[in-house]
Chains A and B, each alone.
Chain A
């Protein structure tokens, strides 16, 4: 079955440093979504990418969808303590249901 892996599993940065998480699918995706889950909270939708090579920005967050539509990345510039949480990608193949990635947990020290 379809698998979606994320690296790294965990990253600890100092406030102000950049952060990147990578998402890799075993199959070609029709679209990918990104979610953020704060500690003790529930996943919250951030963005979706549909087109090959697509790049979208939300303030300090930059999302990319790979040319082959099998990988994606989330880059945070100048992290803040409010960025703490686990970031999940979720990919869909055709009309299949979303498959969530393994997640990257981000810890930001002030």
Chain B
């Protein structure tokens, strides 16, 4: 059982470049989330989705975009990468909201230089 799979695991970008972080889950979960975690800090919600075709902003959405065309996939797009976006990005999924536990992927470690 793969769970939540994120690719790539590591990436170095130059300022101004764009990239897409991939996230897929095989648990048929409706809810999916993108978080960022800066060194020594907690998790901040970037975007989330309650089902295919439905997305909404979290706490720190600026500089990012998402789409949810299928239940399984929830890619995160960085446009015009900036040094402030250097972070570890985690994708998570859950069967429902709140009371359901979130299952996390292994993360993507992204550096913007």
Which A residues contact B (CB, under 8 angstroms)?
1, 30-31, 33, 41-45, 48, 50, 88, 90, 92, 95-103, 105
Contacts and interface: CB of A to CB of B under 8 A. Distances in A.
A88 B42 contact: yes
B101 interface: yes
Given A30-B98, A97-B58, A45 B103 contact: yes
Given A43-B102, A95-B97, 9 more contacts: A31-B98, A42-B107, A43-B90, A45-B103, A50-B99, A90-B102, A92-B98, A97-B97, A100-B45
A101 B48 contact: no
Contacts, number: 54
Contact of B101 (A48, A95, A99): A48
A100 B43 contact: yes
B42 A101 contact: yes
15 contacts: A1-B59, A31-B98, A42-B90, A43-B43, A43-B92, A45-B101, A45-B102, A48-B99, A88-B42, A90-B102, A95-B97, A97-B97, A98-B98, A100-B42, A100-B43
Contacts of A41: 106
Contacts of A48: 99, 101
A60 B51 CA distance: 38
Contact of A97 (B48, B103, B104): B48
Sorted from nearest, which 4 A-B pairs have the closest CB atoms? A45-B101, A92-B98, A42-B104, A100-B43
Nearest to A33: B101
